[in-house]
Amino acid sequence: MSTELQQPPFKSGVLRWIDERLPVLTWAYNELVVYPAPKNLNYWWNFGSLAGIILVVQIVTGVILVMSYTPHADLAFDSVEGYIMRDVNWGWLIRYLHANGASMFFALVYIHMFRGLYYGSYKKPRELLWILGVIILLLMMATAFMGYVLPWGNMSYWAATVITNLFSAIPLVGEPLVTWLWGGFTVANPTLQRFFSLHYLLPFVIFAVVFLHILALHQFGSNNPLGIDLSKKDKIPFHPYYTVKDVFGLCVFLLVYGYFVFYAPTAFISPTNFIPADPLQTPTHIVPEWYFLPFYAILRAITFDFLWIVPAKLGGVIAMFAAIGVLFFVPWLDTSKVRSARFRPIYKWFFWLLVIDVLVLGWAGANPPEGWYLVAAQLGTLYYFAHFLVIMPVLGKIERPLPLPTSLSDPVLRGTRSQTAN
Amino acid sequence: MRKMLIASLVAAVLAGSPGGLFAAEGKHPEDRDWPQEGIFGTFDKAALQRGFQVYKEVCAACHSVRYLRFRDLLGIGLDEETIKAVAGEYTVIDGPDDSGEMFERPAKPFDVFPSPFPNPQAARAANGGALPVDLSLIVKAREGGEDYLYSLLVGYTDPPADEEGLPGAYYNPYFPGGWIAMPPPLSEDMIEYADGTPATVEQMAADVTQFLSWLAEPELEERKRVGLKFMLFVLVMTGIFYAYKRKVWARLH
Ligand code: HEM
């Protein structure tokens, strides 16, 4: 791509003058207009651009919120619930767009990632593209966690307490580390203020990593539902084909987003977060936002000391971080030469089992770690790691993939044509 | 591994025993219909005004509403004159004046509805140690929202025979734990509604619930109005872009 840049068809001399000196327009033109995309992408390929759009929405609504938000333990709750929601013109809209935008962002990104897992989009030569994606996920988690603390409701306070406390499990340095993170001996105003600072900063870091993510994508181009390398004749320019398709997808997405913002704006907000932070009143169940639930289940699944040297709490923390860490190695854990699950009759089933497993973990995470919930969390955790560490490597070696087509017009595809061309 | 299985089995048995898991949670509230529910739901202004009267004449003895300024009552349909008159019934502390003294003056529409107690400690002291919470956000701050609040207000009953009483607490199955420090606040005909509606306990409970629902989400009507326009607009755009997408892609076949 980068070797054969096309000149944009300028009508204005001013634009050409600028572009000769600073070729951003040529760059944008090549990335967003002529970028040759596979002809056969299905709607699962819409979620990347949607995630990019919601990132911009979060940044814009966030910057507006900051104009009326007060990052101080005594004032934060009132500035959100008493001022932004009531007195600021359209404050309720901006706040609900931002709060629900975070949930939408995670939903889109999770679908986007499962898409990658199904079609093998992480395989050579797209390993770095995938790794950059996992980095984005980590940054999003940090951002959303710290954002959730900002309204300083009681769940904000206790979520911050529980999660930061995890670091105390680290041997030797744990306790001092937590004190350092808090800026004191409990979660308090200094904690809120540093979280605010980082919550403002990280989205811009995400933006930069997204930029690299797209750079890596355009190096080899998008993968496609067949997972094979396509020749030039099977590609079409991004504009107008995928621009219209993305705008159509955006409209559908806005209907879902709009439903939550306007008709169920508190669906994702725990009632406890409408009670101001209170260090003396521990909520009966401390539950994080839905998008953290599977990881929360893994954290609490480790209720036993491991090999007598790793205490349960530390084990849980390690398992939780490992659940994300393992994703970095997926390009090498999957030993199959075939990318798309469409040609992997067994992997296809294990893919759906993983989806179910993550849903079960989410359900277990929403409930107290006792009884069947705990059993589900433990089995779910075991299966989660087995999927990546055992099933993926072994399956790639023993599975007999279906014959691969060599191009979109290959006769092997007959009968599946109608599915691939939409 | 075996240790883990045994541990989980033990935990499962413990959780299955009665009183283990749900003891702290209250009885499931009655599912009622509220006029503000649903996509087209709006507040019933008459009910909001009656509900405000219930709050003002009953609940305000113990509970504050720190996000309510008198002028916000425009939102329940009171006019400026009435609001001035209502505010004038209260005095607030202002100051300091030019000589550095604090002074009392009649409340103005921009004032916050005065709290019955100067601070939480005083509120606890007057209520046997229990804190009458601020009611501004109560409907959003409880699982079950309006249904919970209504059920709580009408739900006081005699305790079951096997329940041991708690001093200074009243039995109410909807309250988590069953014993609440708030005495039953409503009784038949304790107030006289300005619009002549009979003041039954159920009527007052439903009215004050709607008023507090409005206070928790005063933006609700505007939100749904804007939402409807937004959804219709996006729906049309969805149709247009679907058709346009098909047209553009048809060139490929
Ligand atoms: C990656 C993008 C972002 C995500 C995922 C995110 C997530 C969140 C979340 C989950 C909350 C709590 C919402 C609530 O319960 O009300 C929040 C609050 C907040 N965020 Fe963000 N945010 C992002 C970007 C930003 C940016 C760029 C800014 C500022 C420049 C910002 C400023 C704020 C402020 C002031 C609040 C507190 C007000 C409130 O609670 O509504 N956010 N954010």
Sign of the CA dihedral running A152, A154, A157, A163: negative
Note whether residue B117 is domain-resident. no
Contacts of residue B47, Cβ cutoff 8 Å, sequence gap at least 6: B35, B206, B207, B210, B211
Sign of the CA dihedral running A196, A197, A198, A200: positive
What is the rounded average pLDDT for all residues in chain A? 94
Q: Which residues pair with B91 in a beta bridge?
A: B106
CB contacts under 8 A, B 220-249 vs A, are: 222-224, 226-228, 230-231, 234-235, 237-238, 241-242, 244-245, 248-249
Angle of helix A127-149 versus helix A312-328 axis, rounded to 10 = 140
What is the per-residue DSSP string for A255-279? HHHHHHHHH-TTTTS-GGGGSB--T
Note whether residue B83 is domain-resident. no
Q: What is the pLDDT of residues A396-405, one digit of tens each?
A: 999 999 999 9
The residue nearest atom 37 of ligand 1, judged by CA position, is A150
**Amino acid (one-letter) located at A357:** D
Note whether residue B226 is domain-resident. yes
Identify the CATH class of A30-286. mainly alpha
Q: Is A218 a catalytic residue?
A: yes
- The whole-angstrom separation of Cα B167 and Cα B164 is 10
Tokens 């007057």 correspond to B126
CB under 8 Å, gap of 24 or more: what pairs does B188-191 form? B190/B58, B191/B53, B191/B54, B191/B57, B191/B58
Ligand 1: residues with CB < 6 A are: A 55, 58-59, 62-63, 65-66, 69, 80, 95, 98-99, 102, 105, 140, 143-144, 147-148, 150-151, 199-200, 203, 206, 269
What is the count of structural domains for chain B? 1
Q: Provide the domain limits for residue B242.
A: 221-253
Q: Is A124 a catalytic residue?
A: no
> What is the pLDDT tens value at each position of chain B, 253 positions in all?
333 333 333 333 333 333 333 335 789 999 999 999 999 999 999 999 999 999 999 999 999 999 999 999 999 999 999 999 999 999 999 999 999 999 999 999 999 999 999 999 999 999 999 999 999 999 999 999 999 999 999 999 999 988 888 888 999 999 999 999 999 999 999 999 999 999 999 999 999 999 999 999 999 999 999 999 999 999 999 999 999 999 999 998 7
Domain-wise residue ranges, chain A: 30-286, 290-422
Using a pLDDT cut of 90, give the percent of chain A over it. Answer: 88
pLDDT of residue B9: 33
- The whole-angstrom separation of Cα B242 and Cα B253 is 17
CB contacts under 8 A, B 149-208 vs A, are: 176
Neighbours of A202 (CB within 10 A): 18
pLDDT of residue B18: 33
Q: What is the pLDDT of residues A268-311, one digit of tens each?
A: 999 999 999 999 999 989 999 999 999 999 999 999 888 778 88
Total count of residues recorded for chain A: 422
- Tell which one of A69, A98, A273 to mutate to probe ligand 1, the residue whose CB is within 8 A of the most ligand atoms: A98
**Amino acid (one-letter) located at A41:** L
Q: Among B145, B226, B245, whose Cβ lies nearest the Cβ of A245?
A: B245
Put simply, the answer to whether A82 touches B66 (Cβ < 8 Å) is yes
Reported ipTM:
0.92
Q: How far, rounded to the nearest angstrom, does the alpha carbon of residue A7 sit from its chain's CA centroid? A: 35
Q: What is the pLDDT of residues A70-116, one digit of tens each?
A: 999 999 999 999 999 999 999 999 999 999 999 999 999 999 999 99
What does the DSSP 8-state code read for residue B60?
G
pLDDT of residue A302: 94
3-state class (DSSP) for residue B22: coil
- The whole-angstrom separation of Cα A110 and Cα A291 is 9
Q: CB contact, 8 Å: A236 with chain B?
A: yes
In chain B, residues with a C-beta closer than 8 Å to the C-beta of A240 are 248
Q: Is A410 a catalytic residue?
A: no
**The model's pTM:** 0.91
A40, A224 in Cβ contact below 8 A?
A: yes
pLDDT of residue A12: 87
Q: Is A12 a catalytic residue?
A: no
Q: How far, rounded to the nearest angstrom, does the alpha carbon of residue A111 sit from its chain's CA centroid? A: 9
pLDDT of residue B1: 34
A183: left (phi over 0), alpha (psi -120 to 50) or beta: left
A52, A213 in Cβ contact below 8 A?
A: no
pLDDT of residue A413: 63
pLDDT of residue A412: 66
- Tell which one of A59, A97, A103, A199 to mutate to probe ligand 1, the residue whose CB is within 8 A of the most ligand atoms: A199
Element (H, E) at B103: strand B103-106
Q: How many A from CA of A77 to the centre of ligand 1?
A: 14
pLDDT of residue B223: 98
pLDDT of residue B17: 32
What phi, psi does A329 have (nearest 5°)?
Answer: -100, 0
Q: Which residues of chain A have pLDDT under 50?
A: 1-2, 417-422
pLDDT of residue A414: 54
